[in-house]
Structure 1
Amino acid sequence: MTGDPGLPELIDAQIRANGPMSIASYMALCLTHPRRGYYKQDDPLGAGGDFITAPEISQMFGELIGFFFVNLWQQKGEPRSFTLLELGPGRGTLMQDALRVATRAPGFGDALHLQLYETNEDLKRQQAARLRQYHPYWAEEIDAVGDGPLLVVANEFFDAMPIRQFVRGTAGWHERLVGLRDGKRIFGLSPTPIPDGAVPETLRGAGPGAVYEMSLAARDVMQRLGQAVARLGGAILAIDYGHGETQAGETLQAVRRHAYADPLDAPGQADLSAHVDFGALATAATDAGLIAQPLATQGDFLRRLGIGERARMLADANPGEAATIAAALERLTGAEQMGRLFKVFCATSPGLVPAGFS
């Protein structure tokens, strides 16, 4: 093979050399390969990309996140130095809207150390342009934080963490792998079952064909952040689609140009994701010494923070945009839109009562 091979050729060559790979390995290559990974290439967001996130729908989303963190900062006694860390900040829209509100609180902006964790160079440039006045810096590690309290926000970050899949057979659970047949990428099963103890107890009675997904990467991120927050004080806020308890189900998906695609087609050209197991994240956070709040839907969380009132204020100030504002409100909070599918997870150090949770 001559020249610089593309990601599909690299993946296929690795399978030929080493045998079928786990879905976690496949996802990691597709999303974060140093040169060809999906998140290493052009801006994937917005109408011209592959998907649109909540901050891009309306300024209201980020503004309420800003209020949420001001409230926690005040509960911590308004420390003179703290770190606000965003994982996967996209274009910087969420943080721009959040800090426009949050820095109105006296002392918040002076105490702020804004840290961003991002791997996409194009998005880093956009973040720098939007957030220049807050003097952000980009961390190489998710837990490379300072000495003050740590507040973390992760919007649609954990769904991109690589997962492994296991399928229940007649003789036990077998890992689903990515292999080749006649030169075409296909899914298959490892012939060797995993020990029953490797599957959560609630799933051990599942019938043949059941699928169990787990993300060691997501648990590792939550554990590392949880240990930092337990040591420094603060909170972790994660917003994503997923389920509250570990359960059987197949959720791996690929999205390209706002449409579903085959996950095995065009590696590096589609967004791969899976539903977040918030039950597993809660276990990792509590094991690290944090208190996990009852999981909220995005709709309930935003309504408790006052998105209805904020929408009315914006509509009154911009009557020509009232219909657009109402549509954004429905998309963010409606049960048939993002309001029920997306969940809001929060884990805090002891003594904090985060707004927006029952």
Structure 2
Amino acid sequence: MHPAERSIRQRIALEGPLTVAAVMEEALAGRNGYYRDNDPLGPEGDFITAPEISQMFGELIGLWCVDTWQRLGAPAEFHLVEMGPGRGTLMADALRAARVAPGFLAAKQLHLVEINGVLRQKQAEKLQEHRPLWHQSLGGVPAGRMILIANELFDALPIHQLEMTSQGWRERVVALQDGALQDGALQFGLAAPGPALGLLRPAHAEAVPGMIAEVSPASVALMDAIARRVRDDNGAALIIDYGPAESGLGDSFQALKNHRYHAPLEELGAADLTAHVDFGALKAAADEAGAQTFGPVTQGDFLRALGIELRADMLAKKSDLATVETLRRQVHRLIAPEQMGRLFKVIGIAGPALDTEKFGGLAGL
């Protein structure tokens, strides 16, 4: 049994059934959690992200950062922040593309928000020349002008699941079958709703018995913190993840192991737990914090606006036939509606003084 699952079982035995959010938090970010000392990325891991699919993804994000820096007035010093930077692949590709703007590279101080020691080491190897600083949370990044990137971060933040019943909303919880600590299966149950009930959005009012609403206080709180930083210091942020553009109903809680869907309550701590990101809730949080918001738009539209097809054509001119075919597959996977192009969304957050005309592939889409 994975140590994270053992800890969850002990907590249930002591405290009673846990919310889905508490289980996700313990399984993913707890002392023995999945994200603490595990490299889950790549073909040999449990999932693959856009930067690992193609260098073009990170390169275009780098050019977006340069363009945004220029719209901020090309400050002589600023914080370039990535939250959940994986192996450092996105940032390495971004900074390589940013060589077109030496002033940008000279002005940036690189900050990486990462809790995983194994991934920190890999980030250090890839980004050594840029002298990154690491932080456990956004709160560790010093005040000041900031451009922030977060790719596939919010989908791993804990969610609460609320189920509509004939008696009204109830919170989905995880319990031990027959109370057995070691041998009993973990199972879902229902309990009286807690404070998460207050995060329900107007779209959830359409629920009928059996339907599930997902809310994420952790996601709303993080977006609020990002938006306030961006607002106060006139910075910008780019959030990329998968989920619906508007709030809605449905059960998206899932687990991934070895690139396959996995029963979410089995082998806790040994599989990735995720849920779709509610971009409607993120946008509302940023708006309420007083920041400008752009999008969400689909990843396909965003990457097309940044010129991914042109970039692929440029690379193809210098490549053999096998590489050209690889480039074609990479672009298709990133922008095709049936691949990542439609499910993945992009939202931009900006301070009040940023020049936002055609803001980085987001305005006007």
Distance 2:112 2:64 in 1: 18
Match of 2:227 in 1: 226
Give the residue type in structure 2 aligned to 1:352: D
* Structure 1 position 113, deviation (Å): 0.6
Map 1:138-177 onto structure 2 (within 5 A): 138-177=134-173
CA contact (8 A) 2:162 2:193 kept: no
Match of 1:215 in 2: 216
> What secondary structure is seen at the aligned counterpart in 1 of 2:243?
strand
For residues 174-206 of structure 1, the C-alpha deviation after alignment (integer angstroms, 9 at most, x for no partner) is 000000113110000015688976632332232
CA contact (8 A) 2:177 2:185 kept: yes
Say which of 314, 338, 341 aligns to 2:340. 338
Range 100-109 or range 217-226, more displaced: 100-109
CA contact (8 A) 1:173 1:194 kept: no
Match of 2:355 in 1: 352
> What secondary structure is seen at the aligned counterpart in 1 of 2:150?
strand
Match of 2:283 in 1: 282
Distance 1:53 1:338 in 2: 10
Say which of 21, 39, 43 aligns to 1:43. 39
Distance 2:345 2:242 in 1: 6
* Structure 1 position 221, deviation (Å): 0.7
Matched, 1:19 2:16: yes
Give the residue type in structure 2 aligned to 1:294: G
* Structure 1 position 18, deviation (Å): 1.0
Match of 1:28 in 2: 25
The verdict on how the C-alpha distance between 1:191 and 1:106 changes in structure 2, with shifts beyond 3 A counting, is: closer
> What secondary structure is seen at the aligned counterpart in 2 of 1:260?
strand
CA contact (8 A) 1:196 1:204 kept: no
Match of 2:264 in 1: 263
* Structure 1 position 249, deviation (Å): 0.8
Give the residue type in structure 2 aligned to 1:190: A
> What secondary structure is seen at the aligned counterpart in 2 of 1:7?
helix
Map 1:79-118 onto structure 2 (within 5 A): 79-118=75-114
Say which of 322, 325, 346 aligns to 1:323. 325
Distance 1:194 1:138 in 2: 33
Give the residue type in structure 2 aligned to 1:251: S
> Structure 1 unaligned runs (5+)?
none
Distance 1:215 1:146 in 2: 26
Match of 2:181 in 1: none
CA contact (8 A) 2:196 2:217 kept: no
Distance 1:193 1:133 in 2: 48
Match of 2:120 in 1: 124
Give the residue type in structure 2 aligned to 1:166: L
Match of 1:65 in 2: 61
For residues 252-304 of structure 1, the C-alpha deviation after alignment (integer angstroms, 9 at most, x for no partner) is 00000000001100010000000000111111111111111121100100000
> What secondary structure is seen at the aligned counterpart in 2 of 1:175?
strand
> Structure 2 unaligned runs (5+)?
179-183
Distance 1:195 1:10 in 2: 23
* Structure 1 position 307, deviation (Å): 0.3
CA contact (8 A) 2:297 2:347 kept: yes
The verdict on how the C-alpha distance between 1:303 and 1:16 changes in structure 2, with shifts beyond 3 A counting, is: same
Give the residue type in structure 1 aligned to 2:329: A
Matched, 1:184 2:185: yes
Give the residue type in structure 2 aligned to 1:291: Q
> What secondary structure is seen at the aligned counterpart in 2 of 1:86?
strand
CA contact (8 A) 1:333 1:339 kept: yes
Give the residue type in structure 1 aligned to 2:355: L
Give the residue type in structure 1 aligned to 2:120: K
Match of 1:202 in 2: 203
Distance 1:204 1:347 in 2: 28
The verdict on how the C-alpha distance between 1:196 and 1:163 changes in structure 2, with shifts beyond 3 A counting, is: closer
- Length-normalised TM-score, structure 2: 0.94
The verdict on how the C-alpha distance between 1:150 and 1:191 changes in structure 2, with shifts beyond 3 A counting, is: closer
The verdict on how the C-alpha distance between 1:197 and 1:106 changes in structure 2, with shifts beyond 3 A counting, is: closer
Range 74-83 or range 140-149, more displaced: 140-149
Distance 1:6 1:207 in 2: 38
Say which of 7, 19, 41 aligns to 1:10. 7
CA contact (8 A) 1:255 1:261 kept: yes
Range 186-195 or range 165-174, more displaced: 186-195
> What secondary structure is seen at the aligned counterpart in 2 of 1:84?
strand
CA contact (8 A) 1:175 1:194 kept: no
CA contact (8 A) 2:2 2:270 kept: no
* Structure 1 position 208, deviation (Å): 0.7
Distance 2:196 2:107 in 1: 50
The verdict on how the C-alpha distance between 1:121 and 1:198 changes in structure 2, with shifts beyond 3 A counting, is: closer
The verdict on how the C-alpha distance between 1:158 and 1:72 changes in structure 2, with shifts beyond 3 A counting, is: same
CA contact (8 A) 1:172 1:196 kept: no
CA contact (8 A) 1:212 1:248 kept: yes
